[in-house]
Structure 1
Amino acid sequence: MADAHNDEPAWPQRPWVLAAIGAAAGLSIHFILGENSFGHTTSALDIAFAALIGSLAILVAFTLERARWTWSLTFSGVAAVVIALIFYWNGAPDDWRTAENWRALSGLLAVAIAAPLFQTARDAGARRFAYVEVHGHAWTNVVMWFASWVFVGIVFLLAFLLAALFSLIKIKLLSDALNEQWFIMTLIGASLAAAVGVFRERDRIVRLLLNVVVAVLGVLAPVLAAGLILFLLSLPFTGLSALWEATRSTTPILLSCVVGALILANAVIGRSDDEESRFPPLRWGALGLAIAMLPLAIIAAISTGSRIAQYGFTPERLWAVVFVTVALAYGAAYLIAVLRRRTAWAPAARRLNLGLGFGLCGLALFLALPITSFNAISTRDQVARLESGQVSPEKFDWAALRFQFGDPGKAAAERLAKSGNAAIRLAAANSLKASDRWDMEARQREARAVDSLDQRLKIVPAGAILPDALRRKLVDWEVCDASGACVVMFDAAKNEAITVRRNCDPESIRAETVPGDGAKSIARVSQMSENCDPKVVKLTLIGAEWTTDRLGLDAEARKVWANAVSAAIEKGDVEVRTVQRRQIFIGGKPAGEVFE
Structure 2
Amino acid sequence: MTIFGANEIADRGPDDRSLGWTRLVIGLIQGAALLGLYLSLENRAWPATVPGLFAPLVLIFAWLPIVLLGAVGRMRLRTLLIWGLAAAALLALMGWWSVTWGVRPDGLNEPLAAPIVFAASAAMLFIAHHLILPADRARRWLAPYPAYFDTAWKAGVQLALSVAFTGAFWVLLFLGAGLFSVIGLNFLRDLLGQEWFSIPVTTLAFSAAVHLTDVKDGLIRGVRTVALMLLSWLMPVMTLITAAFILALPFAGVGRLWDEGYGTSLMLSAAAALIILINAAYQDGEPDGAPPVVLQWAARIAGVLLVPLIGLALWGLALRIGQHGLTPERIIAAACVLVGAVHAVGYAFAAVKPGPWMRPLERTNIIGGVVAVVGILALFTPLADPARLSVADQMRRLETGRVSAEEFDYAFLRFDAGRSGRAALDRLAESDDPEVARRAGETQTVEDRYQVSPTESPRPQNIRIEVNPAGTTLPPAFLEQVAEYDWFIQLCTEDNVCQARMRDMDGDGTDEILIAYASHRSGVSLFKLEGDGQWMEWADYRAPDDTACNGEDIDPRNALREGRLETVDPLFPDLVVDGVRIRPQGVFQPYCGDGPDRAPALP
Q: Within the alignment, does 1:57 sit opposite 2:65 as a pair?
A: yes
Residue equivalent to 2:99: 91
CA distance in 2, matches of 1:32, 1:94: 22
Q: Within the alignment, does 1:393 sit opposite 2:387 as a pair?
A: no
Q: Does the 8 Å CA contact 1:255/1:327 hold for their aligned counterparts?
A: yes
Residue equivalent to 2:345: 332
CA distance in 2, matches of 1:296, 1:406: 32
Residue equivalent to 2:414: 402
Q: Within the alignment, does 1:444 sit opposite 2:444 as a pair?
A: no
Residue equivalent to 2:221: 207
Written as runs of structure 1 = structure 2, the 5 A alignment for 1:126-525 is 126-245=140-259, 247-274=260-287, 276-341=289-354, 344-440=356-452, 443-444=453-454, 505=538, 514-515=568-569, 524=573
CA distance in 2, matches of 1:316, 1:484: 43
CA distance in 2, matches of 1:75, 1:359: 18
CA distance in 2, matches of 1:135, 1:397: 47
TM-score by length of 2: 0.72
Distance 1:182 1:447, change over 3 A: farther
Question: How far is 1:212 from its partner?
Answer: 1.2
Larger Cα-atom Rg: 1
Q: Does the 8 Å CA contact 2:282/2:290 hold for their aligned counterparts?
A: yes
Question: How far is 1:508 from its partner?
Answer: 6.8
CA distance in 1, matches of 2:263, 2:280: 26
Question: How far is 1:308 from its partner?
Answer: 0.7
Written as runs of structure 1 = structure 2, the 5 A alignment for 1:1-150 is 1-2=1-2, 6-7=8-9, 11-34=16-39, 43-65=51-73, 68-91=76-99, 96-97=104-105, 102=116, 105-150=119-164
Question: How far is 1:128 from its partner?
Answer: 4.2
Question: How far is 1:319 from its partner?
Answer: 1.3
Q: Does the 8 Å CA contact 2:103/2:416 hold for their aligned counterparts?
A: no
CA distance in 2, matches of 1:69, 1:85: 24
SS of residue in 2 equivalent to 1:505: strand
SS of residue in 2 equivalent to 1:234: helix
CA distance in 1, matches of 2:68, 2:223: 22
Distance 1:416 1:223, change over 3 A: same
CA distance in 2, matches of 1:437, 1:275: 60
Distance 1:212 1:275, change over 3 A: farther
CA distance in 2, matches of 1:275, 1:317: 43
Written as runs of structure 1 = structure 2, the 5 A alignment for 1:535-574 is 554=579
CA distance in 2, matches of 1:507, 1:20: 64
Question: How far is 1:391 from its partner?
Answer: 2.5
Question: How far is 1:216 from its partner?
Answer: 1.0
Question: How far is 1:84 from its partner?
Answer: 2.0
Q: Does the 8 Å CA contact 1:164/1:175 hold for their aligned counterparts?
A: yes
CA distance in 2, matches of 1:62, 1:206: 14
CA distance in 2, matches of 1:204, 1:405: 49
- Give the partner amino acid of 2:17: P
Measured against aligned partners, the alpha-carbon deviations of 1:427-472 in whole angstroms (never above 9, x if no partner) come to 11111011133443xx438999xxxxxx98xxxxxxxxxxxxxxxx
Q: Does the 8 Å CA contact 2:239/2:298 hold for their aligned counterparts?
A: yes
CA distance in 2, matches of 1:185, 1:428: 45
SS of residue in 2 equivalent to 1:12: helix
Measured against aligned partners, the alpha-carbon deviations of 1:238-277 in whole angstroms (never above 9, x if no partner) come to 33112123x2100000001111111111111111223543
Q: Structure 2 stretches of 5 or more lacking a match?
A: 107-112, 459-479, 482-526, 543-564, 584-603
Distance 1:501 1:27, change over 3 A: farther
SS of residue in 2 equivalent to 1:211: helix
Distance 1:433 1:321, change over 3 A: same
- Give the partner amino acid of 1:226: L
Distance 1:138 1:220, change over 3 A: same
Q: Structure 1 stretches of 5 or more lacking a match?
A: 449-454, 457-482, 489-499, 531-552, 562-596
SS of residue in 1 equivalent to 2:290: coil
Q: Does the 8 Å CA contact 2:274/2:302 hold for their aligned counterparts?
A: yes
Question: How far is 1:328 from its partner?
Answer: 1.1
SS of residue in 1 equivalent to 2:287: coil
CA distance in 2, matches of 1:82, 1:90: 12
Q: Does the 8 Å CA contact 2:72/2:80 hold for their aligned counterparts?
A: yes
- Give the partner amino acid of 1:28: A
Q: Does the 8 Å CA contact 1:251/1:304 hold for their aligned counterparts?
A: yes
SS of residue in 2 equivalent to 1:394: coil
Question: How far is 1:423 from its partner?
Answer: 2.4
Question: How far is 1:177 from its partner?
Answer: 1.4
Question: How far is 1:124 from its partner?
Answer: 2.5
Distance 1:446 1:233, change over 3 A: closer
- Give the partner amino acid of 2:352: L
Q: Percent identity?
A: 26
SS of residue in 1 equivalent to 2:360: helix
Q: Does the 8 Å CA contact 2:131/2:148 hold for their aligned counterparts?
A: yes
Higher mean Cα deviation, 91-100 or 295-304? 91-100
Q: CA RMSD in A?
A: 3.6
- Give the partner amino acid of 1:7: I
- Give the partner amino acid of 1:403: F
Measured against aligned partners, the alpha-carbon deviations of 1:268-305 in whole angstroms (never above 9, x if no partner) come to 11112235433122111111111111111011111100
Question: How far is 1:317 from its partner?
Answer: 1.0
CA distance in 2, matches of 1:139, 1:507: 53
Q: Does the 8 Å CA contact 2:63/2:122 hold for their aligned counterparts?
A: no
SS of residue in 1 equivalent to 2:73: coil
Q: Does the 8 Å CA contact 1:269/1:275 hold for their aligned counterparts?
A: no
Q: Which has the higher helix share?
A: 1
CA distance in 1, matches of 2:132, 2:240: 37
Question: How far is 1:68 from its partner?
Answer: 2.7
Q: Does the 8 Å CA contact 1:47/1:92 hold for their aligned counterparts?
A: no
- Give the partner amino acid of 1:150: A
- Give the partner amino acid of 1:140: K
CA distance in 1, matches of 2:372, 2:424: 33
Distance 1:508 1:201, change over 3 A: closer
Q: Does the 8 Å CA contact 1:290/1:338 hold for their aligned counterparts?
A: yes
CA distance in 2, matches of 1:306, 1:446: 22
